[in-house]
Amino acid sequence: MYKYLLIAALAAAPAAPAFAQSDVGPNGASDAATAYGQSDGVSGLRVEPRIGYDRVITELNVEAGEDSGRLSEGKSGVTYGGEVGYDMVVNGGTMLGVYGGIEGSSAKQCFDGGDGVDTCLKPGRNLTAGVRGGFLINPTTVAYIKGGYSNGQIRLNYTDPTFPEDNFRLSDNLSGFHVGAGVQAGFGRNFYGKLEYVYTDYNGYEVVDGSDKASLDFSRHQVVAGIGFRF
């Protein structure tokens, strides 16, 4: 009997290393994807600089009988900033994360009032906080969607060279939300790159006078690239 047990043990020995190296875990999930997720650009604390295209849209709506109308104007610029986040891989192929960021923009919209008078409207700093989730396309690449809270600053500058005492600058903070989607790919053990689209909508201003109403709203479209480091 001992002879047969010895023969069975020797026969099973070559299969043991192959089983230990298998990519399929006990639950049928990919252990390789999980291992990569925990070490190579998908899981953990991350920081990233960001830069991309920014399209800021100002929309004026007036409801005043025959004088009703809608005016929409957009200006493009460069968005730049940074983001900090934390991600984790669950169930062997699903990524969940949280993030916060700050960014600025070069977009600016100016109105020429004649005689050198300029009125310029431009976005200031934009703060974001949100969550994102996605799935691993391969062990180092993830496709995701994101969404959360935004707080954007709007700045108004009025310049009159003839009467400089009338010059003024105003700023206000507007709350809103953002949604987006992107693809992120890791390279090396600590770095990743990503490309994403983000839409942001801010709560604007509204004035009501009897049956007349006017509203001024702001939104933006962004295509942003980032290169990050994961700890």
Q: Is 3 contained in some domain?
A: no
Q: Is 212 contained in some domain?
A: yes
Q: Is 219 contained in some domain?
A: yes
Which among 180, 132, 139 is positioned nearest to 31, based on CA atoms? 139
Which CATH number belongs to the domain containing residue 80 in this structure? 2.40.160.20
DSSP 153-207: EEEEEEE-SSSGGG-EEEEEEEEEEEEEEEEEEEETTTEEEEEEEEEEEEEEEEE
Q: Is 118 contained in some domain?
A: yes
Number of structural domains (the chain) is 1
CA 176, distance to chain mean position in Å, is: 14
Residue 97 CB partners (closer than 8 Å, separation 6+): 85, 86, 87, 88, 131, 132, 133, 144
Q: What is the per-residue pLDDT for 19?
A: 36
Evaluate if residue 219 carries a pLDDT over 50: yes
| pLDDT tens digit sequence for 119-131 | 888 899 999 999 9
pTM assigned to the model: 0.76
Q: Is 142 contained in some domain?
A: yes
Domain that residue 194 falls in? 42-230
**Distance between CA atoms of residues 218 and 222, nearest Å:** 14
CB 139 within 8 A of CB 37: yes
Evaluate if residue 184 carries a pLDDT over 70: yes
Q: Is 101 contained in some domain?
A: yes
Given pLDDT bands bounded at 50, 70 and 90, which one contains residue 146? very high
Q: Is 221 contained in some domain?
A: yes
| pLDDT tens digit sequence for 70-87 | 888 889 999 999 999 999
Which among 178, 161, 199, 194 is positioned nearest to 87, based on CA atoms? 194
**Distance between CA atoms of residues 134 and 89, nearest Å:** 9
Q: What is the per-residue pLDDT for 5?
A: 32
Given pLDDT bands bounded at 50, 70 and 90, which one contains residue 35? very low
Q: Is 14 contained in some domain?
A: no
